[in-house]
Amino acid sequence: MQLSKKLILYIFILVTIGSCIEPYFPGDLDYEPMLFIQAIVTDHPDIAPRVQLSNTYPLSTGEDEIIPYVNISGATVYIERDDGIRYYFSEQSWGKGIYYLPDPSFALVAGSSYMLFVETVDGQQFESGYEPYILPTEIEEIGYKYATDQTSELGETSEGYSFNVTTTGDGAESSYYRWEMDHTYRYKVSLHADFIWTGVRLVDTTNYHLVYCYMDDFVRGIYVGSTSGLT
């Protein structure tokens, strides 16, 4: 009987050890240095056309610990229309590798095609094919619902809102969409204050009249959609 108890305990330990999650080391992944070019050219009056250049780097090291594959600063960047007209971008002083189009008169022309050209300071050239400008599709309806979704394999959940967008295309060919979003939210002051700290001294005042505050923020990420495969 004593031997049987030891055997059961031994098997239980083996099963427990075998079910552990193996550690994951990002350094084990293959790494290939390359240049990423992200560009957005839109007819939205509040969004200036921009191009961002960035280098890849291994997950096991920091971005500042590697030699860049391409020098992303000081590049020549322009958009060329199919009739030969070019619009040149300028690099922003506060953002290395971020280029904006400073020409306020720039406007996309329906029926025209555009290509992107990038030449780095070390002479490497990159260019896209000509892409036609298609008038944007109107959004018919935006809906939302409050939901709780599982966000990890460990069963952790997150509460929030999910949104759906309804639109209709002409059905002639597949369409591809990208959205940029910002959100405005309201929050309630949790505590009352009889003084406000200005960074230098306390001011004898209250926040009783500031019960609710509002904040606007840009939603980070790339949100895309496609009608490919839909009928």
pLDDT digits (tens, 9 = 90+) for 72-127: 889 999 999 999 999 999 998 776 889 999 888 888 988 899 999 999 988 989 99
Mean pLDDT score, 212-226? 77
Tens of pLDDT, residues 162-201: 778 787 766 666 777 777 777 787 877 777 777 777 778 8
Ordered strands of the 35-40 beta sheet = 35-40, 50-55, 98-100, 90-91
Going by CATH, does the domain composed of 26-132 fall within 3.40.50?
no
How many Cβ atoms are within 10 Å of 196's Cβ, its own excluded?
13
Q: Which residues contact 56 (CB under 8 A, 6 or more apart)?
A: 31, 32, 33, 34, 35, 36, 69
Check residues 213 and 36 and name the one with the higher pLDDT. Answer: 36
Q: Which residue spans of the chain are classified as CATH 2.60.40?
A: 26-132
Tens of pLDDT, residues 6-59: 334 443 444 444 445 566 665 556 677 788 898 888 877 777 889 999 887 776
Q: How far apart are CA 168 and CA 166, in angstroms?
A: 7
